[in-house]
Structure 1
């Protein structure tokens, strides 16, 4: 029997609440499927760990995580710990050390959730954003000079490499080729205002496009593309973007499918040389942590994406169907979606539906 080892990093705030529900769903899915098992190990790394030890994880943290098949992260961030400390101390080192150069965020309207966009249905809102995850605008190159004086200045450099750009573009084209839908790539750019990196990006889009003549390709400026996410979301199949532009687009994507509490993401090492990491898009929301009102849907959707990545397609599909069945019934939904159910009640309802569909 196949066994998948998963490192649990609940992290901070509501990360603890939602990962608990996702873990329950994964356990039920594995028990009912019968073809695989899951072993978990939990790590208490995050901002609370930082407050005690002065670092977000131990010095050998990455070595500890390397042995696992997947990493399941809740959220990172807490008042008193600057965002650049929490992110650069845990999340970003994991993404980069494990070469998780692909970030996948589906923009898919689930059954039972109305879109804020008027008259838009599941058919209209069903595409994927693939974001370059390791370089681009989030490269850690730059610095401060003359800090605290009238000449205070900061410089931040973007880094676009041929290897990094080609890998994310080729991956996006391969996804579009297999999608069975529109077979269309939409690439975000800003080459009319950013002089070097964006024309470089555009150039490699054209080169990779030549390898996939069956894929229709559009290159659209990021400002216009944000508008089109709202006005014509039905025109997209696979959207590919640099690190910063992908980050912006995917938060907008979360908004048009119902909110941040729904949106999942995957940080993928396609070669499976290292573990991939799955995390909800939402933050740690410390103001509602422990109150039992956080929406676990994004975390549970991440669990489905994790199983799909691990090759457990039937269980991944069953989780998605059970989750949407519960949402559609409207009996167990959290306050952010207009309901009164608790985080735990939503998780339990999805587990129950899984039992009914898979036994």
Structure 2
């Protein structure tokens, strides 16, 4: 039997709601998938923890979770706390502390969903965006001076290193090769960002020489947004910097129907530390506690976590269940144009996973 130790961090807003729904689904999956088992341990870190303790997580937080097989994360952010405090105090502290340098975000238009594009374009969406997750514009280098004075200044430095670029480029190339189309689009902005992004281009081109089996094209990030809308079928695997991929992946999720279905993996490819898996919708305090949050992003995220844990059959079973549910209008949540509650969507996915009263029947 495969027993996977999972650290569960619900975080803020709707995070605990959708992650707990995901735990229910994973437990249902373990009940029907031979040899699959989980040991979940919950950590109450986040903005409420900050209000009690002055920190988003304990000082030894990384030490507490480093022995787990994976981290299942909900969201971070609170309208009553500065975003830089909440993000850097928890999510980025884990990503950077565990060197989870590869952020992977898949997008497909799931059955029954339409999205904002014309149907003939929407059905072409089948992408995976690889985001450099440790440096670039989010390296945290910079500072402020002369606070409160007319000459106050704030500086953020985008940090690009040869080692950081090379390792994410190799990760993206390997992922692109594993997909049927073997097509990689490299996103840049080296026409305007003349130092870091020029280094990005040079290092990526050097890595690409080791992957002659790939078809590769290049896009400026602004042009890439238009391509995603106008020619979605021309895209497969995308490699982009921390900031650029952050923006493009939210656009991708919206084109796929809703931010509520978006999923992501924060991967340490060395597997020396646990990787972290999270839906991308954020804390959504406007719907917190109303029972209407879309849990599908957390379920898709759980499928990514299963893949990372080597549970390919279970991951496929969960994705099939998700697709069975999205194909029935009565199981769509409000963000997808339906009226189903979080609990109703969760129950439908559990039924599909279990093969009892499956939504497909």
Q: Which residue of 2 aligns with 1:131?
A: 131
Q: Which residue of 1 aligns with 2:237?
A: 238
Structure 1 pair 27–228 and aligned structure 2 pair: CA distance change class (3 A)? same
Query: How far 1:115 sits from its partner (Å)?
Result: 2.0
CA distance in 1: counterparts of 2:40 and 2:122, whole angstroms: 34
Q: Which runs of 5+ in 1 are unaligned?
A: none
- Give runs of aligned pairs for residues 72-87 of structure 1, distance below 5 A: 72-87=72-87
Query: How far 1:290 sits from its partner (Å)?
Result: 1.0
Q: Which residue of 1 aligns with 2:345?
A: 346
Structure 1 pair 253–329 and aligned structure 2 pair: CA distance change class (3 A)? same
8 Å Cα contact 1:334/1:346 also seen in 2: yes
CA distance in 1: counterparts of 2:146 and 2:113, whole angstroms: 51
2:201 matches 1:199: no
- Give runs of aligned pairs for residues 20-99 of structure 1, distance below 5 A: 20-99=20-99
**SS at the partner of 2:168?**
helix
CA distance in 2: counterparts of 1:119 and 1:344, whole angstroms: 29
Q: Which residue of 2 aligns with 1:219?
A: 218
CA distance in 2: counterparts of 1:317 and 1:280, whole angstroms: 18
- Give runs of aligned pairs for residues 244-323 of structure 1, distance below 5 A: 244-323=243-322
- Give runs of aligned pairs for residues 101-250 of structure 1, distance below 5 A: 101-120=101-120, 123-180=123-180, 182-250=181-249
8 Å Cα contact 2:121/2:232 also seen in 1: no
CA distance in 1: counterparts of 2:336 and 2:123, whole angstroms: 21
**SS at the partner of 2:6?**
strand
Q: Deviations over 1:173-198 (max 9, x none)?
A: 00111111x21111110111011011
Structure 1 pair 129–121 and aligned structure 2 pair: CA distance change class (3 A)? same
Structure 1 pair 41–358 and aligned structure 2 pair: CA distance change class (3 A)? farther
**SS at the partner of 1:120?**
helix
2:5 matches 1:12: no
Query: How far 1:94 sits from its partner (Å)?
Result: 0.4
8 Å Cα contact 1:318/1:358 also seen in 2: no
8 Å Cα contact 1:304/1:316 also seen in 2: yes
CA distance in 2: counterparts of 1:242 and 1:338, whole angstroms: 33
Q: Deviations over 1:311-355 (max 9, x none)?
A: 001110011111110110222111111111110110011000111
8 Å Cα contact 1:47/1:56 also seen in 2: yes
8 Å Cα contact 1:32/1:358 also seen in 2: no
Q: TM-score, normalised by structure 2?
A: 0.97
8 Å Cα contact 2:122/2:255 also seen in 1: no
**Aligned residue pair count:** 358
Query: How far 1:120 sits from its partner (Å)?
Result: 3.4
8 Å Cα contact 1:21/1:347 also seen in 2: yes
CA distance in 2: counterparts of 1:85 and 1:76, whole angstroms: 10
